[in-house]
Amino acid sequence: MGEGKRKRGRKPKTSDEETKDFQHATTTANDVPSASVPTPATEPNPDANNPSSSRRGRGRPRKITKNENPRPNIGASPERRGTRHAEQNGDFTHATTAMTTTTAITTAAVVSEPVRWETVVKVVPSMDAVVKVFCVHTEPNFSLMWQRKRQYSSSSSGFIIGGKRVLTNAHSVEHHTQVKLKKRGSDTKYLATVLAIGTECDIAMLTVSDDEFWEGVSPLEFGDLPALQDAVTVVGYPIGGDTISVTSGVVSRMEILSYVHGSTELLGLQIDAAINSGNSGGPAFNDRGKCVGIAFQSLKHEDVENIGYVIPTPVIMHFIKDYERNGAYTGFPVLGVEWQKMENPDLRVAMGMGPDQKGVRIRRIEPTAPESQVLKPSDVILSFDGANIANDGTGDAWFHSRHGERIGFSYLVSQKYTGDYALVKVLRNSEVLVADINIGYEDIVNTQVLAFNGKPVKNLRSLARMVESCVDEYLKFDLEYQQIVVLHTKTAKAATLDILTTHCIPAAMSDDLKT
């Protein structure tokens, strides 16, 4: 699934200190733990806060006050199969994600938010629309393409919307051979049909042909995108019981998030309500009982706890309208370009930008994209559909004005539909060779230098000679992935000594490059 976040078109970076494992929240019924599946760094002790635990030894049990009673979350869940690595027993496991959720025990140092009962009461009438999803998966065998792997079962959550439709997660019904739904308080499972699967946004749409299923249930209504610190209530069927479960929290972050199922980046909400295995596909309600998102994944890392993610209503509504407009899911559009930040002030001057202009430089354009007919490399994108683009790639849109947060301009692109037109304002043919020292170039690492001041670089010695003998006013390095670095020659050479001293480097180059 997903490890770290990376920008579209940028060469991925790896860092052991920043590795993040995401996990889906789908309960797999017949999983068998395997040695190749990553396990949590530490296993919680269910008796750690139990005064009668045998770890205390002999003597009278410790007296417990009211403030010392922790609220444990739902217990550990089995590991879920993915579609990345094949095991010897025919099971699959995602390559980079540990699917084991652990019980988080609240200690005295962590203050737990009380349940907002007034919020729960408002959500209760809407909970009848939440259903439990049972799916039998049969995954393809990519080694023996004429065969399939052994089938397995999973359970997750979903909810009823208008038009006799049910929404759940795409990963809840991937490679499905049979899908059944069960309503709250019912003992009957109804056979469901999958209408559409949005792998990118991790949403699937189902329906049931039996009219009895729709009797006595009102579809959920969607609410607006919540703001930070707004209360949310997640409802679903996580592992640990057959009845419905309710957890509450607040919205703690809104940003472009990595959707691990589809390996895409779309708008997502981070909440502190518990999302466990089986919660996948369940709705997240606001304090007015309206659905504001779909629970779909959580962050598993030794340094974090209680971080879950919700698909927000803009992404959900895009999926629904896409299906209604085209009769099928066509996907989220992309601009088809790779871009470079313009945070270096002199680099902006190098591209001919004025002091009040901001934007991002196009590094590469997909040759099959329609934009390749109108855009060119080294164009500077100044705005998209009237929304100004900042030097770091964030956009000025209604999202910023309403929520006070800047968000990547790829969000503006994702709100379009396949075949739509957009107005893109660019700056072209205004380059000059001007730049300052290193500001804005911190993210460029382990990148090959292809040319210097327009001349190809044969090896490191030739590059060193060209830099030392350069009498031009500026140093321009053409890097791979269509990136450029421009430095002022006198300023760069004057700063060399200070850089060597600051970083304790004995010389600017080794002796074999000086000859």
- Give the catalytic positions in this structure: 171, 202, 280
The angle at the Cα of 407, spanning 403 to 408, to the nearest 5 degrees, equals 165
Instruction: From 311, 319, 255, 324, select the one nearest 282 (Cα to Cα).
Output: 311
Per-residue b or e along 435-458, where b marks 16 or more CB atoms closer than 10 Å to that residue's CB: bbbeebbeebeeeeeeebbeeebe
The 10 Å Cβ neighbour count of residue 414 is 24
Q: How far apart are CA 415 and CA 256, in angstroms?
A: 13
CB 330 within 8 A of CB 323: no
Handedness of CA 159, 161, 164, 170 (dihedral sign): negative
Phi, psi at 318, each rounded to 5°:
-65, -40
Using DSSP bridges, classify how beta strands 308-312 and 264-271 pair: parallel, antiparallel or unpaired. Answer: antiparallel
- For residue 151, the 8-state DSSP code is P
Q: How far apart are CA 183 and CA 176, in angstroms?
A: 20
In whole angstroms, how far apart are CA 215 and each of 129, 183, 219, 415?
Answer: 11, 11, 11, 35
- For residue 117, the 8-state DSSP code is H
Structure tokens at 80: 């879920």
Residue type present at position 196: A
* Backbone region of residue 268 per phi and psi (left: phi > 0; alpha: psi in -120 to 50; beta: other values): beta
